């Protein structure tokens, strides 16, 4: 491996990207996929945290963070994503052998297209694994009950990916990709680009190696071109050609146009970077302070407030409790907020991971010290890690003392 060339490093990064994207669905944290949206339960499993539909504001914050992350990376490093990490780039590079199909005869075409076909369906399956766990996918596949919807997605996606890889390839970037179209508005005069140094124009041998290697068929010497996917192949070619003359490549990465003083830190980059950082901190705060258990207290309309024979006033409520965590919980039910002798039945609840439970509770108050009919009553479920408190109205049903 030539460590002074960019392409071997790109291949390593691309391989790591492929391993992460294919391998992530197999990784399990607390018994669930590391990253998967479960359509049936409408839950997002995110590295050990299971977010329920009603918590999707956390996903919204994550989306805001990712959007600003993309904008700040594009503003500073230009099309680095396109050249190094984009799945389309990775797939096109890994299936580069298919570009020789036309020249190498029918047998080569047949074999190379077959390999691309298999790769397309592996990629299609890997997309499904972000919705259906790969463990479930394979067990259902081998049991013959994958289901028509999953089969449908698997086949349609596989065919689209296959056609993309044999027909569109790099044309995808210039025609279909929305990010490619948007990024020009994210660039400024200091954004990192791959460019030909016009100050050294006289040194160019006009060998055309940079043009011949360019996958999108542009001549970088003519200046910036929106079709450039920042693959850096022209840099390596020019390094090779100029190296024979013991000179440096005429094409390279530059912050801003060649010859201008490049700067990574600038006002707009700092501002967008700060928003990115703040949204990330907010997201981490929401994830780490999120309560795994939530409770809603509803009035029990089947039980009107009443006074018992021994003088206690009794109200009843329904506790609707959701355990959004990954572990079963045993929680104490407590009541506070009214002066007097307070009691709640039951005073303990067991709730399994993922369970949504609704139970009636009965609150009795003796020796009521107040003289108002309605008092705020705090009902909580708690243990040493969890505490959820809700305030409801308690209606006094007896005589005042
Ligand atoms: S000019 Fe062509 S070879 Fe050079 S980085 Fe852009 S796309 Fe790649
Ligand atoms: S590879 Fe370098 S030397 Fe050759 S044509 Fe391109 S810029 Fe000139």
Instruction: Look up the CATH number of the domain holding residue 332.
Output: 2.60.40.10
**Ligand number with the minimum distance to the CA of 221:** 2
**Where does a domain end: 185, 215, 232?**
185
Of 197, 254, 263, 206, give the one whose Cα is nearest residue 230: 254
CB distance 237 to ligand 2 below 6 Å: yes
Token pair listed for 383: 């243990």
Please tell me the total count of domains within the chain.
3
CB distance 205 to ligand 2 below 6 Å: yes
In a domain, 330, yes or no: yes
CB distance 201 to ligand 2 below 6 Å: no
Query: What's the pLDDT score for residue 143?
Result: 94
**Where does a domain end: 164, 185, 206?**
185
Looking at the DSSP bridge assignments, the partners of residue 394 are 375
Given the structure tokens 């795994």, which residue do they identify?
A: 292
The pairing of beta strand 293-299 with beta strand 306-307? unpaired
Query: What's the pLDDT score for residue 186?
Result: 87
Is residue 183 within 8 A of residue 133, CB to CB? The reply is no
In a domain, 323, yes or no: yes
Q: What domain range is 326 assigned to? A: 293-395
In a domain, 66, yes or no: no
Query: What's the pLDDT score for residue 2?
Result: 75
Of 126, 150, 145, give the one whose Cα is nearest residue 23: 126
**Ligand number with the minimum distance to the CA of 195:** 1
Q: What is the Cα–Cα distance from 164 to 303, expressed in whole angstroms? A: 64
CA of 23 to the centre of ligand 1 (A): 30
In this structure, the answer to whether residues 178 and 204 fall within a common structural domain is: no
**Ligand number with the minimum distance to the CA of 219:** 1
Closest residue by Cα to atom 6, ligand 2, is 210
In a domain, 164, yes or no: yes
Query: What's the pLDDT score for residue 398?
Result: 64
**Where does a domain end: 185, 215, 230?**
185
CB distance 210 to ligand 2 below 6 Å: yes
Token pair listed for 42: 């409408």
Looking at the DSSP bridge assignments, the partners of residue 284 are none
In this structure, the answer to whether residues 250 and 209 fall within a common structural domain is: yes
In this structure, the answer to whether residues 203 and 171 fall within a common structural domain is: no
Query: What's the pLDDT score for residue 135?
Result: 95
Mutate to test the pocket of ligand 2, among 195, 201, 204, 252 (most ligand atoms within 8 A of CB): 204
In this structure, the answer to whether residues 158 and 197 fall within a common structural domain is: no
In a domain, 118, yes or no: yes
In a domain, 71, yes or no: no
Q: What is the Cα gyration radius of the chain?
A: 31
Q: Tell me the H-state helices in 56-170.
A: 56-77, 80-84, 87-94, 105-128, 134-143, 148-163
Q: What is the Cα–Cα distance from 102 to 110, expressed in whole angstroms? A: 10
In this structure, the answer to whether residues 85 and 144 fall within a common structural domain is: yes
CA of 230 to the centre of ligand 2 (A): 16
Which parts of the chain register pLDDT below 70? 1, 370-371, 398-401
CA of 185 to the centre of ligand 2 (A): 29
In a domain, 284, yes or no: no
**Ligand number with the minimum distance to the CA of 237:** 2
In this structure, the answer to whether residues 234 and 162 fall within a common structural domain is: no
CA of 207 to the centre of ligand 2 (A): 6
Mutate to test the pocket of ligand 1, among 5, 232, 253, 258 (most ligand atoms within 8 A of CB): 232
In this structure, the answer to whether residues 88 and 179 fall within a common structural domain is: yes
Q: Which atom of ligand 2 is nearest to the CA of 206?
A: 5
Is residue 21 within 8 A of residue 87, CB to CB? The reply is yes
The overall pTM is greater than 0.85: no
CB distance 235 to ligand 2 below 6 Å: no
Query: What's the pLDDT score for residue 225?
Result: 87
96, 324, 340, 378 from 365: Cα distances, Å: 77, 32, 6, 13
In this structure, the answer to whether residues 179 and 212 fall within a common structural domain is: no
In this structure, the answer to whether residues 23 and 109 fall within a common structural domain is: yes
In this structure, the answer to whether residues 197 and 181 fall within a common structural domain is: no
In this structure, the answer to whether residues 83 and 127 fall within a common structural domain is: yes
In this structure, the answer to whether residues 172 and 47 fall within a common structural domain is: yes
Query: CB under 8 Å to 96, separation ≥6 — which residues?
Result: none
């Amino acid at each position: 491996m030539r460590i002074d060339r960019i392409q071997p490093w790109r291949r390593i990064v691309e391989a790591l990207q492929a391993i992460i994207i294919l391998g992530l669905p197999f990784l399990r944290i607390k018994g669930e996929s590391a990253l998967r949206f479960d359509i049936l339960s409408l839950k997002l499993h995110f590295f050990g945290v299971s977010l329920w539909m009603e918590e999707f504001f956390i996903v919204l914050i994550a989306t805001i963070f990712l959007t600003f992350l993309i904008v700040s990376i594009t503003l500073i490093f230009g099309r680095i994503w396109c050249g190094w990490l984009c799945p389309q780039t990775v797939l096109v590079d890994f299936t580069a052998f298919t570009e020789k199909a036309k020249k190498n005869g029918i047998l080569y075409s047949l074999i190379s297209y077959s390999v691309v076909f298999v790769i397309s369906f592996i990629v299609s399956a890997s997309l499904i694994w972000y919705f259906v766990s790969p463990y479930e996918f394979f067990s259902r596949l081998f049991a013959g009950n994958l289901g028509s919807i999953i089969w449908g997605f698997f086949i349609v996606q596989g065919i689209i990916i296959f056609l993309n890889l044999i027909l569109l390839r790099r044309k995808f970037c210039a025609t279909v990709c929305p990010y490619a179209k948007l990024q020009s508005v994210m660039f400024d005069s200091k954004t990192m680009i791959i460019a030909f140094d016009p100050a050294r124009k006289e040194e160019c041998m006009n060998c055309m190696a940079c043009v011949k290697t360019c996958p999108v068929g542009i001549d970088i010497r003519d200046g910036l071109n929106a079709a450039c996917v920042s693959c850096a192949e022209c840099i390596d070619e020019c390094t090779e050609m100029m190296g024979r003359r013991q000179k440096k490549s005429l094409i390279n990465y530059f912050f801003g146009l060649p010859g201008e003083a490049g700067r990574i830190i600038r006002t707009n980059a700092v501002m967008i970077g700060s928003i990115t950082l703040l949204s990330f901190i907010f997201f981490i705060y929401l994830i780490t302070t999120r309560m795994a258990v939530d409770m809603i207290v509803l009035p029990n309309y089947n039980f009107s407030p009443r006074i018992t024979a021994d003088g206690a006033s009794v109200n009843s409520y329904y506790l609707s409790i959701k355990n959004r965590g990954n572990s079963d919980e045993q929680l104490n039910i407590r009541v506070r907020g009214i002066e007097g002798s307070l009691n709640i039945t039951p005073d303990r609840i067991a709730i399994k991971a993922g369970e949504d439970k609704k139970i009636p509770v009965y609150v009795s108050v003796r020796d009521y010290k107040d003289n108002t009919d309605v008092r705020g009553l705090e009902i909580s479920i708690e243990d040493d890690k969890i505490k959820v408190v809700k305030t409801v109205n308690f209606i006094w049903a007896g005589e005042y003392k």
